[in-house]
Amino acid sequence: MPRIVRIDVADLRFPTSRALDGSDAMNPDPDYSAAYATVHTDADDGLAGNGFTFTIGRGNELCVAAIEALAPLLVGREVSGVLDDLGETWRILTRDSQLRWVGPEKGVVHLATAAVVNAVWDLRAKRDGKPLWQLLADMSPEELVACLDLRYVTDALTPDEAREILATHRPRRDEREAALRAGGLPAYTTSTGWIGYPDEAVSELCREAVAAGWTHMKMKVGGEPAADARRAALIREAIGDDRVLLMDANQVWDVEQAIARTQELAVFDPLWMEEPTSPDDVLGHARIARAIEPIGVATGEHVHNRVMFKQLLQADAIRYCQVDATRLGGINEALAVVLMAAKHGVTVCPHAGGVGLCENVQHLSLWDAIAVAPDVTDRVVEYVDHLHEHFVDPVRIRDAAYVVPTAPGASADLHPETFARFAFPAGSEWR
Amino acid sequence: MPRIVRIDVADLRFPTSRALDGSDAMNPDPDYSAAYATVHTDADDGLAGNGFTFTIGRGNELCVAAIEALAPLLVGREVSGVLDDLGETWRILTRDSQLRWVGPEKGVVHLATAAVVNAVWDLRAKRDGKPLWQLLADMSPEELVACLDLRYVTDALTPDEAREILATHRPRRDEREAALRAGGLPAYTTSTGWIGYPDEAVSELCREAVAAGWTHMKMKVGGEPAADARRAALIREAIGDDRVLLMDANQVWDVEQAIARTQELAVFDPLWMEEPTSPDDVLGHARIARAIEPIGVATGEHVHNRVMFKQLLQADAIRYCQVDATRLGGINEALAVVLMAAKHGVTVCPHAGGVGLCENVQHLSLWDAIAVAPDVTDRVVEYVDHLHEHFVDPVRIRDAAYVVPTAPGASADLHPETFARFAFPAGSEWR
């Protein structure tokens, strides 16, 4: 029986801070990075599974070390056991009692869990010859629910409820898939409003985005109030009143401040205010949500596990759930969050950008749109136009929508040159 | 001007799993460990600051690596700047925007922050020639509040409110200190009921504890219901009806299960149920708290930052706040949590045990008892009788109370032999 023989890890960093790409009020100079895991087996098929977690530079080495700490939990196991019981695989990776102490299910060790878990799913999808979204959408409700770990969230979602949600839209599966293949997965762009970009660049990027057909644009706020207002006015002017403006404060405010600052910016008519305060503050988000209506609260890229999302949903603290399957412990946990959001009537608009997050998240959103979402007209997936050139099967955007990917796997494979160039600190870009 | 010249780090692990010391329902075989930091300066005084974070084995190397990632933030800085503005030092260590991404303020990177922060406080206390508790108790309300970072919690505690709490008991400072020096700091013992110990050992340990004057004993629950009930009956019989029984489930239950299981165990009259579910579940704890009254909910050893404690207090989810200054980002954050608990009328009974946590926590509780607590009669600090022999100035227990320590510093210094023997993996105990 073929076994998992080793998990290779790479510390990849891209010097995005040089041009202030990705800059915001909390993260002025990110170097988009990936702690990248490759699961190797001794099977004849020659397939390897790739997965990663996303960081912004320093600290990526900690995620690399954590992947190395997790690897012995899988190495030596039979491939079929690991790939055919992905629920159990997730539990194996998250329930080592000693490693659990340095989480549990949060921070470095959980980011690393995502890399390994997503690599295993990539391998499973490649073995089955399907893109990940299709593997998920083809699963029966029973098979899908068996991949979930609902520990600590059974008060919000039982296995029966999860199966019921999945069964609801099952009859429309083919029709939904055909619509997505024809029209793509609606997206919004964050490439227009990084906080470190000069005003003229922002205006120009917005006009370009409008010309390219984008209908939803996101800007970064949380700087000086006057600067935020000036940039919001520029952007609103460039995109017009009919397009949707999204705002993102990247956690810089306390609760009272978030309310006051959002109310000041309400004149620019944003659909949502993203990350208004600490990602850990469920009650704070709930308070902000009540105070800033009709503007919605969005958060998720730093919401570290299903227990936190459960509470954000129970407390009516968010209207937009920005799930991130590399911040959560991989695709298994993201599936549970999407199902909980569906039960609570909250719209899933995943976090993307960084490096590889668009490639990752399109699969989750396609599954949501086919198998879970009651209505897909209000869903937009984040899109950022950085670093796609490193991927073997990069995302493609057509008419402001993700084109449905067809290659087997989870779209995580990188070109070999990327490792040679961006490995930290030995790659040519960093030497 | 003297500067910080380097921070040394050691990976220390003690093979406690061999005797099932410290075993509970979630952690069946912990190897108590410390990621241990020593801050060196080029000052003439020859002083070094020691601090650590506590883990239970695998993953300790991740905290070691994270301390190494934090070290450059302090190395090269003037000692006086670091020691005399401890609020700013905390912010320097927690606001590196790239490292923040892999937290923020949680998991591996926050555990490592605690080690470095506590080492700096140890150095400050040694420089001032005072035990840490006295350094804290001698600070004016203004000085103490300048050490806090209230970001994200100003909706629960403003600097003015913190100063007001501290000013309230200032006139009784000397009287309170004298009482503690005479009678010690009341404690409870957890050494009686580890889940891996056989029944006879548990009964015998309980009888010994009664004979030694202990009035509060803690047992581990969360195993098979019948086994929990059998052991609770044994312990209640051994300690009698007049002593206080505490129960600890170590996060093994979901919310509904925690309620049902606690209600089953209510017949044994526990004062509190500790860690009934996920440490992240504020709303779950609130629900459990309402359902299990008059039994109180206790939690804290896995509550990762002040934002989480803020919510547990705002939601009336806990009656006992088990703050841990190595899970939080060191003493600065623990001070803020103790002050928030005081404002909300919640009793602070810190988590201890492990390795060095008793030595660490006694300082925090002495400060609480002198400067913050409205009433100290209901406060008990955890005590576990393991691994104190490794410390230069170990805690001393007399009549079920901690004897007030008098040596300068934070009681974190270890004997040199401990490094030689328990360094992992090169120490003699692990080779």
- Residue-level pLDDT at A19: 80
**What are the chain B neighbours of A353 within 8 Å (beta carbons)?**
none
Q: What is the mean pLDDT of chain B?
A: 96
DSSP β-ladder status, A244-248 and B347-348: unpaired
pTM exceeds 0.90: yes
**What are the chain B neighbours of A94 within 8 Å (beta carbons)?**
none
- Residue-level pLDDT at B166: 98
**Could you tell me which of B224, B236, B243, B240 has the C-alpha nearest to residue B266?**
B236
| DSSP 8-state assignment for residue B275 | -
Q: A180 versus B25: which is more confidently predicted? A: A180
CA of A324: how far to CAs of A306, A365, B249, in Å? 11, 11, 31
- Indicate if the pLDDT at residue B257 is higher than 90: yes
Mind telling me how many Å the CA of A245 is from chain B's nearest CA? 26
**What are the chain B neighbours of A98 within 8 Å (beta carbons)?**
27, 29-31, 55-59
- Residue-level pLDDT at A406: 98
- Contact A154/B281, CB-based, under 8 Å? no
- Residue-level pLDDT at B191: 81
Local structure of B198: helix, strand or coil: coil
Whether residue A158 contacts residue A179, with contact meaning beta carbons closer than 8 Å, is answered with no
Over residues B278-299, the mean pLDDT reads 98
Mind telling me how many Å the CA of B370 is from chain A's nearest CA? 31
Q: How far apart are CA B221 and CA B251, in angstroms?
A: 10
- Residue-level pLDDT at B333: 98
- Among A214-223, A248-257, B23-32, B288-297, the minimum mean pLDDT is found in B23-32
| Helix, strand, coil share of chain B (percent; to 5) | 45, 15, 35
pLDDT in tens, B318-341: 999 999 999 999 999 999 999 999
- Contact A58/B98, CB-based, under 8 Å? yes
Q: Which residue of B has its CA nearest to A32?
A: B98
CA of B377: how far to CAs of A68, B38, B185, in Å? 48, 36, 10
Both tokens assigned to B270 = 């526990």
Both tokens assigned to A379 = 């869903």
Mutation pick from B280, B302, B344 vs chain A, by most beta carbons of A within 10 Å, is B280
Residues of A assigned a catalytic role = 220, 351
- Indicate if the pLDDT at residue B312 is higher than 90: yes
Compare CB distances from A98 to B58, B109, B280 and report the shortest one's residue. Answer: B58
- Contact A57/B98, CB-based, under 8 Å? yes
| DSSP 8-state assignment for residue B131 | B
- Indicate if the pLDDT at residue B358 is higher than 90: yes
Mind telling me how many Å the CA of A311 is from chain B's nearest CA? 7
Q: Single out the catalytic residue among B110, B126, B220, B390.
A: B220
- Contact A102/B26, CB-based, under 8 Å? no
- Contact A284/B155, CB-based, under 8 Å? yes
Local structure of B189: helix, strand or coil: strand
- Contact B282/A277, CB-based, under 8 Å? no
CB neighbour list of residue B238: distance below 8 Å, 6 or more residues apart: B202, B203, B206, B207, B210
Whether residue B418 contacts residue B12, with contact meaning beta carbons closer than 8 Å, is answered with yes
pLDDT in tens, B184-209: 999 999 987 777 788 898 899 999 99
Helices (H), B73-158: 79-84, 86-94, 97-101, 107-128, 132-138, 141-146
- Contact B281/A152, CB-based, under 8 Å? yes
**What are the chain B neighbours of A63 within 8 Å (beta carbons)?**
102
| DSSP 8-state assignment for residue B320 | E
- Indicate if the pLDDT at residue B20 is higher than 80: no
- Contact B28/A59, CB-based, under 8 Å? no
Compare CB distances from B97 to A28, A61, A111 and report the shortest one's residue. Answer: A28
- Contact A282/B101, CB-based, under 8 Å? no
Q: How far apart are CA A79 and CA B311, in angstroms?
A: 43
Mind telling me how many Å the CA of B66 is from chain A's nearest CA? 7
Q: How confident is the model at residue B119 (pLDDT cuts 50, 70, 90)?
A: very high
Whether residue A351 contacts residue A323, with contact meaning beta carbons closer than 8 Å, is answered with yes
Q: Single out the catalytic residue among B130, B310, B351, B386.
A: B351
DSSP β-ladder status, A185-193 and A381-383: parallel
- φ, ψ for residue A40 (rounded to 5)? -105, 145
Mind telling me how many Å the CA of B225 is from chain A's nearest CA? 18
- Residue-level pLDDT at A375: 80
- Residue-level pLDDT at B252: 96
**What are the chain B neighbours of A106 within 8 Å (beta carbons)?**
106-107, 280, 304
pLDDT in tens, A176-231: 999 999 999 999 999 877 777 889 998 999 999 999 999 999 999 999 999 999 99
Size of interface A-B (CB pairs under 8 A): 192
Over residues B283-305, the mean pLDDT reads 98
Whether residue A355 contacts residue A33, with contact meaning beta carbons closer than 8 Å, is answered with yes
| DSSP 8-state assignment for residue A389 | G
pLDDT in tens, A13-39: 999 988 877 788 888 889 999 999 999
Ranges of chain A whose pLDDT falls below 70: none
- Give the DSSP per-residue string, A64-94: HHHHHHHGGGTTTSBHHHHHH-HHHHHHHHH
Mind telling me how many Å the CA of A305 is from chain B's nearest CA? 9
CA of A257: how far to CAs of A78, A84, A271, A319, B333, in Å? 53, 49, 19, 20, 21
Which residue's entry shows tokens 């309300």?
B141
Over residues B260-277, the mean pLDDT reads 98
- Contact A280/B305, CB-based, under 8 Å? yes
**What are the chain A neighbours of B282 within 8 Å (beta carbons)?**
282-283, 311
- Contact B69/A61, CB-based, under 8 Å? yes
Mutation pick from A102, A153, A324, A326 vs chain B, by most beta carbons of B within 10 Å, is A102
